[in-house]
Chain A
């Protein structure tokens, strides 16, 4: 089918309008989610903390894992992880959940999974001060001036890393619904394979280099080194960035191939 190229539906939708649309969609989700909840945002914050606490008890106290500053290690990884995993899981279902938007309203479809990623980034942003406070009180790590550029750089890196995954999985899930289940299983597996609750040095020598190839490990390690050492390891971050570029290209290609048809699939 041809659509006259001089005249298309997104005419009048410049970048500022798209940014506003993203803002409106994210605000809608957050507003709807926190209606009728007394504690609202507190839950978004409490969840990663509670998980970190559980793992702290289980690994430090019961398994007697010997790691220096284990609670700091957990907290600094847990929040970016929750942003990534909850964002991608939500995004995977975004086309299916928003079927009426996809079928009956014209909007750039790729913005829906981006909405999920942005929404979880908002949660992460709200959690940042709390994480910093925790680092200060529990680890005596004072806020570092270089965080002023390192943290924004990592925020951009993580969006660039996560969004292509989110978009690709959302597209795939419109065609094959089982993807939702795979994503759920995949993240539970990856949580321990990245690894998030024990340092990679604990992995037996024979498998360690396989673990180190995992780009998620590079991303999480970047966050940890920024928070704990105040330094952004260029090699690690570059590895994550390279992965983001590759998945970005794949997602762009998938979007071109698969997006036009999803209106009749969801």
Chain B
């Protein structure tokens, strides 16, 4: 079932409108919405700091910066994928009108969360510089945008794949609710990978999420992203994109009938 042809420019405008409308709707009547999003992540980081540093006595240099530098990209990724997974189900009406579960819907979710992340960046950078004592690097001016693109390229195929799968099998939503907290500790986000015991350690290193988060952390904490880690993520992004593309071609035309 072919959809109406749209030019890339129209698609970009549509994506912009969709994302803006969602952000507006979410924060309507909730004046502190942005502050809450920021406060939630910082509060979580604080909790982990108390639990792991104070109570368990975990010894990591600049642990608070380690947490903050990783948790914001993590929240972007996990919240983006979780909401994207529901995007075809939530927008059932829109899909029936467009005649096709358009790939742009989950992309809009990823972009919304990226907007949050970008808005949070000043606070993250302030934390890194003021609390961590790291110097702000000029190279961030091009490395941060590069990382933004890399993360979109990595996250979007996952988001699209889950959104398609969830249209057919609604359990996927629940699976993610369990999956992300699991991954949060398996990536790992709250302790350095160096303390993972030997048999597991090598497996943890293979996790592309670890490479992605490690890239962000080295960007903030060492002033430059780690080319090897970034390239590893990019490789995964390509492979995932191929899988998502295949899924999209196979599954998208019938989504309108199952949501």
Question: Which A residues are within 8 Å of any B CB, using their own CB?
Answer: 36-39, 43, 46-47, 50-51, 53-55, 57-59, 61-63, 65, 177-178, 181-182, 184-185, 188-189, 191-193, 195, 197-198, 202-204
Q: Bin chain B's interface residue count.
A: 35 or more
A-B contact pairs, 16 of them (CB 8 A): A37-B170, A38-B171, A43-B171, A43-B178, A46-B178, A51-B181, A54-B184, A55-B185, A58-B188, A62-B188, A62-B191, A63-B56, A182-B36, A189-B43, A192-B47, A192-B48
Q: A50-B181, A188-B47, A202-B55 are in contact. Are A37 and B29 (CB under 8 A)?
A: no
Q: What are the 4 A-B residue pairs with the smallest beta carbon separation, nearest first? A: A181-B36, A43-B174, A50-B178, A58-B185
**Which residues on A sit within 8 Å (CB–CB) of B188?**
58, 62
Q: A57-B185, A198-B55 are in contact. Are A37 and B177 (CB under 8 A)?
A: no
Q: How far is the CB of A59 from chain B (nearest CB, A)?
A: 8
- Contact B55–A54 (Cβ < 8 Å): no
Bound Cα distance A89, B106 (Å): 26
- Contact A197–B51 (Cβ < 8 Å): yes
- Contact A181–B169 (Cβ < 8 Å): no
Bound Cα distance A182, B32 (Å): 11
Q: A63-B52, A63-B56, A204-B54 are in contact. Are A185 and B181 (CB under 8 A)?
A: no
Taking the complex as formed, is B126 at the interface, i.e. its CB lies under 8 A from any CB of chain A? Answer: no
Bound Cα distance A39, B174 (Å): 10
Interface string of B37-80 (1 = CB under 8 A from A): 00110011011101110111010000000000000000000000
Q: A37-B171, A38-B171 are in contact. Are A47 and B177 (CB under 8 A)?
A: yes
Q: A54-B185, A197-B51 are in contact. Are A47 and B178 (CB under 8 A)?
A: yes
Bound Cα distance A184, B56 (Å): 24
**Which residues on B sit within 8 Å (CB–CB) of A37?**
170-171, 174
- Contact A178–B36 (Cβ < 8 Å): yes
**Which residues on B sit within 8 Å (CB–CB) of A65?**
56
**Which residues on A sit within 8 Å (CB–CB) of B33?**
181
Bound Cα distance A150, B132 (Å): 50
Taking the complex as formed, is B123 at the interface, i.e. its CB lies under 8 A from any CB of chain A? Answer: no
- Contact B30–A178 (Cβ < 8 Å): yes
**Which residues on A sit within 8 Å (CB–CB) of B169?**
38
Q: How far is the CB of B65 from chain A (nearest CB, A)?
A: 20
- Contact B56–A202 (Cβ < 8 Å): yes
- Contact A204–B52 (Cβ < 8 Å): no
**Which residues on B sit within 8 Å (CB–CB) of A185?**
36, 39-40, 43-44
Bound Cα distance A185, B37 (Å): 10
Q: A43-B174, A63-B191, A185-B36 are in contact. Are A204 and B55 (CB under 8 A)?
A: yes
Name the contact of B181 in the complex, choosing from A54, A62, A178, A195 (C-beta under 8 A): A54
**Which residues on B sit within 8 Å (CB–CB) of A189?**
43, 46-47
**Which residues on A sit within 8 Å (CB–CB) of B29?**
177
**Which residues on A sit within 8 Å (CB–CB) of B178?**
43, 46-47, 50-51
Bound Cα distance A54, B188 (Å): 11
Interface string of B88-108 (1 = CB under 8 A from A): 000000000000000000000
- Contact B182–A50 (Cβ < 8 Å): yes
- Of A62, A184, A203, most buried by chain B (CB within 10 Å of CB) is A62
Taking the complex as formed, is B119 at the interface, i.e. its CB lies under 8 A from any CB of chain A? Answer: no
- Contact A192–B50 (Cβ < 8 Å): yes
- Contact B197–A62 (Cβ < 8 Å): yes
Q: How far is the CB of B68 from chain A (nearest CB, A)?
A: 15
**Identity of the chain B residue whose Cβ is nearest the Cβ of A198 in the assembled complex:** B55
Bound Cα distance A117, B58 (Å): 37
**Which residues on B sit within 8 Å (CB–CB) of A61?**
197, 200
Q: How far is the CB of A62 from chain B (nearest CB, A)?
A: 6
- Contact A36–B185 (Cβ < 8 Å): no
Q: How far is the CB of B134 from chain A (nearest CB, A)?
A: 26
- Contact A63–B58 (Cβ < 8 Å): yes
Bound Cα distance A8, B159 (Å): 53
**Which residues on A sit within 8 Å (CB–CB) of B36?**
178, 181-182, 185
Bound Cα distance A57, B58 (Å): 16
**Which residues on A sit within 8 Å (CB–CB) of B195?**
62-63
Bound Cα distance A195, B33 (Å): 28
**Identity of the chain B residue whose Cβ is nearest the Cβ of A40 in the assembled complex:** B171
Q: How far is the CB of B220 from chain A (nearest CB, A)?
A: 23
Bound Cα distance A193, B54 (Å): 12
Bound Cα distance A152, B145 (Å): 57
- Contact A198–B197 (Cβ < 8 Å): no
**Which residues on B sit within 8 Å (CB–CB) of A57?**
185-186
Bound Cα distance A185, B40 (Å): 6
Bound Cα distance A192, B53 (Å): 13
**Which residues on B sit within 8 Å (CB–CB) of A63?**
52, 56, 58, 191, 195
**Which residues on A sit within 8 Å (CB–CB) of B56?**
59, 63, 65, 198, 202
